[in-house]
Chain A
Amino acid sequence: MPERIYVGMKPHHRDAIGERVRNRIVNDLGIGLISSVRTAAIYTLNGAFAMSELTSLAEGPFSDPIIHDFSINSSFSKTFDWMIEVGFRPGVTDNVGRTAKEAVAVLLKKDLPEDFSVHTGTQYFLEGNATRAQVERVARELLANELIQTVRVFSQNEWLEQDTASFPAPVVTDTHEIEPYREVNLNVSDDDLARISKENVLVLSLAEMKAIQAYYQDAERIRIRSEQKLPANPTNIELEILAQTWSEHCKHKIFNAKITYRETGRDPQSISSLFKVYIKKATEKVREAKGDGDYCLSVFVDNAGVVRFNDEWAVVFKAETHNSPSALDPYGGALTGIVGVNRDPFGTGLGSRLIANTDVFCFASPFHKEALPPRILHPKRVLEGVREGVEHGGNKSGIPTVNGTIVFDERFLGKPLVYCGTLGIMPLEINNRKGYEKKANVNDHILMVGGRIGKDGIHGATFSSEPLHEGSPATAVQIGDPITQKRMTDFLLKARDLNLYSAITDNGAGGLSSSVGEMAEDTGGAIVHLDRAPLKYHGLEPWEIFLSEAQERMTVAVSPEKLTQFIELAKEWNVEATDLGEFTDSGHLELYYEGHIIGRLAMEFLHDGLPQMQLEAVWNPPEQKPSGPLRSEDIGQDLLKMLQRLNICSKEYVVRQYDHEVQAGSVVKPLTGVKNDGPSDAAVVRPLLDSFEGLVVSNGIVPRYSDIDTYAMAASAFDEAVRNAVCAGANPDHMAALDNFCWCDPVKTDTNPDGDYKLAQLVRANQALYDMCLHYGIPLVSGKDSMKNDYHIGTTRISIPPTLLVSLVGTIEDVRKAVTMDLKSPENMLYILGTTYRELGASEYALMRDLDESVVPTVRNPKKTFRMYRMLHTAISQGFVRAAHDLSDGGLGVALAEMSFSGELGAQIHLARIPHNECTTDAELLFSESQARMIVEISEEHQSDFESLMNNLPVAQIGKVVKGDRIAATGIDGTEILNISRIEAKNSWKSTLNF
């Protein structure tokens, strides 16, 4: 019978967690009748213990004598009206439970049975006159996600009359006999092939199923299989491996498809692989042009891109998304997203030390009022869950979250986007080997290191390759465990420096199937014994063991002579490492279970057998023509309202909850200015504490421009990332970018009739990316795409706006030259850099006023722009620039206000001096979102030096920094058109996300 220990705050101590829950019940759910919430932690011990043991556990590791009371097998509280109990479903990762189990073993110093486990949960004791229906709402809409958690509601009487011992521990009680493999008959009709793919969540097209069918019909193959006692038909594990390896998620089929692109009035264009024609080629050309100055070290071949940082160190960078899991379970999905992307730079080359995270989220409005479609969580709940998941993942891993943003658009209701990026740093040379290269050798052992395998995340790779639907599997959701991962990465960095392994990669999507499958390419084969893999619980079929996406695992190739030392060190460092088999040159991936072969796939077919997709793209150019002059009744009021808009307002609420300073390299923080709360353009970090060389990290993202033209969207996102970094002090000639596409399904089908248009949007975004890379001489070093960001249940269909995140890392020679965006001193000059056009299509201003503006911002003169960035960098390096801020969402008006209130100084500018084209009104000049623009602050002593650098560029002095609290501007006709208080402006800006 399981035992239960309950721990909660003593009655006279404040329960901060309970109070926070109570506030959310009132504010988010509008249930004011709950007057108080107090909480108790539940520890359910799945085993029998003496009362003295339970008491010493309760008094020892489980409670804090100063603030806690506890109870054993009896209710913690007697005074309440309702009690909500939330626990995990069987098999869901329970991090606290894992730590508690270790603590029991340490304290009781006795051998615990193999299947002993501790399960945790929370009880919420509610006081107040609420109805059962209201409490049920609190339970389901705020406290528990029933996909991963169980939730029970009790009235006071119901709970106090319960025999608590009657609650079983949520253990997985699967005792079924394991079936080593199942044969899948592929000698069937096309209809049946399609059915097999669908029923097994393989997400393989008919063409792909037929390619597999043909592979198994080969006479020679049938003969060899029969010799090896394998059926002629595929075994289920073989089919699952193929489905995972060939998934959109892993093979990027759309990016590698053959596309016929049609545009009105032009000849159709044939594109064989967007990846090869645009992404890879752009990088090749940029590297060629840089010649000896090429700083790329490893691009598109490893888990992350690697570029040179200085003569001894390299920087590793990768960003990913975790959208589908975050839609189902925002906390677990986002936590897994961040700790998952951590493993990419960690598993690049011989491994890197992680130095920074950068996160960008896209949500619907947290103030969403309308009814929600089935299976969609309220955006506030998504925001809170994602925020907390990334908080726990980042903070607990000790990696500073240095930069990021949140983008809001109603269509992200269909799927939130959770972009997580991580940077690492590695020596160029480790033990006389190149740090950024790796290679498994024949006979190396395959070591799985870190967490154990459960059913978590099975079919994650295939599931994220289709839209969210009613049958989306709950097992696709996982919960990350940052501490198991931290122990593992600590250990592996030690093993790396001791030269104990030859190659390393992470277990992410596709689990071992993906990691072993990829590493086996180095040698041309592998043998894996799946029965050796450590499991969280009984009941996994061999194919599940191979495909599970259970987190916190790396796969490492260890030579036979270093095997013992590796395993011994792992044991000392409290990390599980298991020898699963070895790499071979047999040309095959061979799977064994309890000594019997259960699968054998030719490496060549596995990696190159996938037929190329053929797709159609049709672009209908939108009409972009300016309407009549755009005027404002009250520019000051408009600006104050703009500052409150979700895409512009302060994100301090989220930023503060992320540790952005751990590792002590923080130079430009996400929050800056007199009150440490102004919005920085980019992060500057100093990864080596004995050097002043720094890294600059920035992002660019502007999905709303896709409504007019994705070419403009992508070009603008790219420019935004670059100009943000340049503003902070990055050298524009030493930058590297990541592309991260999140698209709505671009494959035309009966249920997705405009797929060909969405594909054309994708083509155009790639064209823009290619062009911008070449114009600016910036290589793409890694990337990722997520192609099925749609929601489709019943008649409701929501597709996200096509979104490209450009993440950028640059260098700054000396971090002491870095610049922040807050105004510094009265009487300094304010300059605008870049030309303002009448570009208000899909702008924040047009959206706020519901204006029909069709000319979308784009980068009109990239060559000249890049020259301007170089000159600005020179000015910054020479110390001429006191402040710099990029102009983006909301244009000049918003940027000026932010600089003013962050520096607690006023500003006076003259719109008539702005270099512009096509603009005829003050509102157009103030709110246009033309790209490639920034404001800089220059002191009088550097005025002439600065101006001579900017000679022949669209740069003008538009005003001055002034004392006091006024943000003022004169209009085109010279009269005052704006005069607001910076204090009021700041209050507006901070009021929106003031949770």
Chain B
Amino acid sequence: MAHKASAIVMAGNGTNCEVESAHACKTAGFQKVDIVTVWELLDGEYSLDNYDFLVLPGGFLDGDDLGSAKAQANRLLHTSVKKTGQPVLDQFKHFISEHKLVLGICNGFQLLVKLGLVPALEGKYMEQQATLTFNDSGRFEDRWVDLQVNRQSNCVFTKDVESLYLPVRHGEGKFVASDKSVIDTLKAGNQIVLNYVDPDTNEPTQKYPYNPNGSQSAIAGVCDPTGRIFGLMPHPEAYLHRTNHPRWTREKLPEEGAGVILFRNALEYLTSR
């Protein structure tokens, strides 16, 4: 059963990284990967119940019109599936209760945070404890950043990964917690999985552009207490092959891009449990 782990990439309504996110799953070895729109999910044509790995890809859900992912969070919190009459949120809750995996990238991370699925400190799921808001620069930016992985974290996606070099492409990526105690608890629980670092010192930094958005404690990605729900602003699915790297014409690089590992770790977790 386990080796048939299947992935669902939730698309539509403004997502735009679904194709490469699905490709990342396939490259990592997932046999069954479906791109399903939120409309098909709300209609009841598809259900999360039939999958093991949910990817919430990057994009501009509802155009970021009420703040990134706000309108989509509102939709998922308050809409029922047409064919069953069941709140769509129940599917998400059920999915999580079965110890399945969720990865939110960029806009998908924003959605996770605004739904309260990460960081979910003290297991308080569905309670928003932090947010992602406008970059300190006030601008959308596309740039590659150096990231350090917290080796103490139980995040299943970053197992055996030390550092990553990936692009950020966002205007609202500044991680802000409701108060300092949230950051302290995040740190204590090793839920801060990824930090923006200064490439010269390899230390988490508040210095622009290494920290591209001014995130508190240089946070680039966080997980829930179980390590099975992970959200990050940088785009692992944008680095699947060495030719995606901005300096591939001048540096010796492995053929496979460094972003694939997050998806492969997901598969290994699902097949080994």
Residues of A within 8 A of B (CB): 13-14, 16-17, 19-20, 60-62, 64-67, 95-96, 98-100, 102-103, 106-107, 109, 391, 395-399, 481-483, 486-487, 490, 572-574, 656-664, 666-669, 671-674, 676, 686, 689-690, 815-816, 818-820, 822, 824, 903
Contacts and interface: CB of A to CB of B under 8 A. Distances in A.
Given A662-B17, A676-B246, A903-B250, A64 B67 contact: yes
B62 interface: yes
B169 A661 contact: yes
Interface in B130-144: 130-131, 133-144
Q: Which of B14, B58, B79, B177 is packed against the most chain A CB atoms within 10 Å? A: B14
Given A61-B71, A820-B249, 5 more contacts: A99-B71, A103-B75, A481-B63, A487-B13, A667-B244
Interface in B219-266: 235, 237-238, 240, 243-244, 246-247, 249-250
Contacts of B39: 572-574
Q: Which of B13, B59, B74, B129 is packed against the most chain A CB atoms within 10 Å? A: B74
5 contacts: A67-B176, A659-B169, A663-B17, A667-B244, A689-B240
Interface in B1-42: 11-17, 19-20, 23, 37, 39-40
Nearest to A655: B142
B204 interface: no
Contact of B250 (A99, A573, A686, A822): A822
Q: Which 4 A-B pairs have the closest CB atoms?
A: A398-B16, A664-B20, A20-B138, A99-B65
Given A99-B71, A572-B40, A662-B169, A483 B238 contact: no
Contact of B71 (A102, A398, A673): A102
B66 A96 contact: yes
B272 interface: no
A664 B23 contact: yes
Contacts of B63: 95-96, 99, 396, 481-483
Contacts of B71: 61, 99, 102-103
Contact of A66 (B40, B59, B177): B177
Contacts of B108: none
B177 to A, nearest CB: 7
Contacts of B12: 487, 490, 573
Given A95-B65, A103-B71, A657-B139, A818 B169 contact: no
A730 to B, nearest CB: 15
Contacts of A657: 139-142
A397 B59 CA distance: 8
Interface of B: 11-17, 19-20, 23, 37, 39-40, 43, 45, 58-60, 62-67, 70-71, 73-75, 78-79, 114, 128-131, 133-144, 167, 169, 174, 176-178, 214, 235, 237-238, 240, 243-244, 246-247, 249-250
A98 to B, nearest CB: 8
A715 to B, nearest CB: 30
A13 B60 contact: no
Contacts of B244: 661, 664, 666-667
A99 B142 contact: no
B178 A66 contact: yes
Main secondary structure of the interface of B (DSSP, over half): mixed
Contacts of B135: 16
B249 A818 contact: yes
B142 A660 contact: yes
A668 B243 CA distance: 8
A656 B141 contact: yes
Nearest to B82: A572
B137 A16 contact: yes
A16 to B, nearest CB: 4
B62 A483 contact: yes
A903 B247 CA distance: 10
Contacts of A658: 142
A16 B138 contact: yes
A820 B140 contact: no
Given A99-B65, A664-B238, A671-B246, A398 B79 contact: no
Contacts of B169: 395, 659, 661-662
B65 A100 contact: yes
A882 B187 CA distance: 46
A572 B45 CA distance: 10
Contacts of A903: 250
B66 A674 contact: no
A99 B66 contact: yes
A568 to B, nearest CB: 10
A574 B79 CA distance: 14
A33 B130 CA distance: 35
A882 to B, nearest CB: 8
A482 B60 CA distance: 10
A350 B65 CA distance: 31
